[in-house]
Structure 1
Amino acid sequence: MKYFVCLLFVALSLATEAQINCEQALECRIVAPSGMRMRAEPSLKAKVVTYVPFDSTLTACQETFGSMEYEKIRGFWRKVQYNGKLGYMFDGFMEVKGLLNKPATTDTIADTSVTDTPKGEVSVKPEKETPKTREITYSLLTETYNYCGEVKGIDPGLIWYGIYPRDEDNGGTTYRIKRVDVNVMLSKQKVGKKLEFDVLTDEEERSIFLLGVNQLLPLEQNSIEDNSDLLRMNGRKIFPGQQWDLTGEPTKMKLSATGSVESTGPCPDLKNYRLTLSGTKYFLPVNQNITEELNDNGQCGMPEIYWFGDLNGDDVPEMIFVSVYEDRNRFTLFVSDPTLDNALVVKKAHWTVDKCY
């Protein structure tokens, strides 16, 4: 019996040794739309331990480890625990849900039942892990007639959303987003020698673009300001020396261009052209070279901005660039990614429309 009690004590000790060490623990919720990062030390320069998404629940110590102020929001560094990982986070974007007498150690559900085996050994049932979130994959289309490219890459089985201009007749100021069905049909009238298809939807209205994903997203509830007027007034190219303000606080996203113009005209000769997306991420400035990642600047050396808007609701705009050539238009989708340290967006999808004649 003493042997069994001893083993039981050891088993329970091992099960609890990873607990956060707090005199008093708090149950908190992340309220920053873009989520937050847990760091190894109470410093913005410390190594990132993990990313904690918006609306996640975590355990935090009531004890603080220094103060900090960001965008007039004053807060403190706290020791925290999330999904089995320990670290420190700024509490300026946390909401306290309540006190915890016994801090949770992980986001997994542990079965603590212990049984005495015939040989007198202790058997502890393994933990049941919470299923991991499936990664979102993206596809990009524009509705078109007489498409002569490869149609095998078009998957009508994805969940497709059409993005439409604002409803000006009813005073609308935001893009309209609808679930649609994508239809790929042989073109009734050919314009070239290749096999041609019409890529359309079940809606009569033509969309700005179509976004296909592998899981349901709350896009239809999003309120995204229509930027069409800005694109019409400014043009879709950013010349060296120009800068666009894409968002306000707290991310302050800007898209700017550097380089030199060696000649004038609709397709000027450019040297060292670079398009940079800059902003604030997790309280730190980030500058991302879009030209390098796009790797396709079009015939005139300058990609055009086809569309931008905050689809994910994290104050970082998704962007579609189009690289224009005489014989084709190549569209590239960039999507915000909160898991990256030194980047604001990541390239997710391509769509090329060739001229078939």
Structure 2
Amino acid sequence: MKFSIERAALLKAISQAQSVVERRNTIPILANVLIEAEGGNVSFRATDLDIEVVDKTIAQVERAGATTVSAVLLHEIVRKLPDGALIKLTDDGAAGRLTVEAGRSNFSLATLPREDFPVMASSEYTSNFTAKASVLRRLFDKSKFAISTEETRYYLNGVYMHISESEGGKVLRCVATDGHRLARIDAEMPEGAADMPGVIVPRKTVNEMRKLLDVDDAEIAVSVSETKIRFATPEITLTSKVIDGTFPDYTRVIPTGNTRKLEVDAAEFAKAVDRVATVSSERSRAVKLSLDEDRLILSVNAPDSGAADEELVVAYGDERLEIGFNAKYLLEIASQVDRENAVFMFNSSADPTLMREGNDTSAIYVVMPMRV
């Protein structure tokens, strides 16, 4: 195998690959990236046995072939080479070495046989559709903060992507929850997605897939089966196993009878929460919201470090209410608001609170209160 490739193209491809491989694993081949050169293209394939990413890029291929080399090591070398460099990669096959040349720099890296590299079994996808990158990015970006990190409740360690009914008809919906807060985000259902099985997309897959979604107008081909999900652009294909479990009935925890309405500037609210939470020794300490007519007082009382309060002018016309929340949860939810105003709907100091952006119900958040 022998080919030449521009540094920028190689760095982009190898960056995606090296982020998938597990740094600590007992199977040496899983630390490697499979490089396959043929025609005018070179593909870089990496896997951790749960996720597989293939990045195809244009290169000047002199001799077709394939080999595997440490993904992290190759990434570090390419990252440190000068911008604009033309990099030549040569694998002679016999010596088990890959030569990397760029200008006066020369590296010889150990390889492992391509035959040892595990390729993820292809799946029969029952649903295939395309969606704009901007749509998928919104669905996952606004929900992923609520993914649980508790391994015992493994079925909450991802985003539940499914088709659901809403007031305006069927929607493509993403839901994540950790039991303390919940995010439910809707988008118009893409053509061909009506029969999509509901799947739980793992946290790592969500983070890796996010890298495909930077170009707003890019069309992402999505394929779903009961066990796998695939996101593809013309250059990159990301295939992942889905979490084998049943996502709980999240509709039961979304309050429908909350009538006390608070409207507040989302950015001002987030900054105020952040400021008063500074005196809290633990991030989990509650921030108290004291609501009166058109007035909100945020306060923290930490006996070991101090106290703080801040007053905000808000739109609130219901009876007086005091309610406490985890400062971190409030900040994360407030930071999801793209519009100017955040609307909080309360029932009592012990009941879940609903939050949305203005009158938009396509993105709603639920947060459980804390005792203060």
Place the TM-score, normalised by the shorter chain, in its bin: under 0.3
With normalisation by structure 2, the TM-score equals: 0.22
Considering only CA atoms, is the larger Rg found in Structure 1 or Structure 2?
1
With normalisation by structure 1, the TM-score equals: 0.22
Structure with more helix by fraction:
2
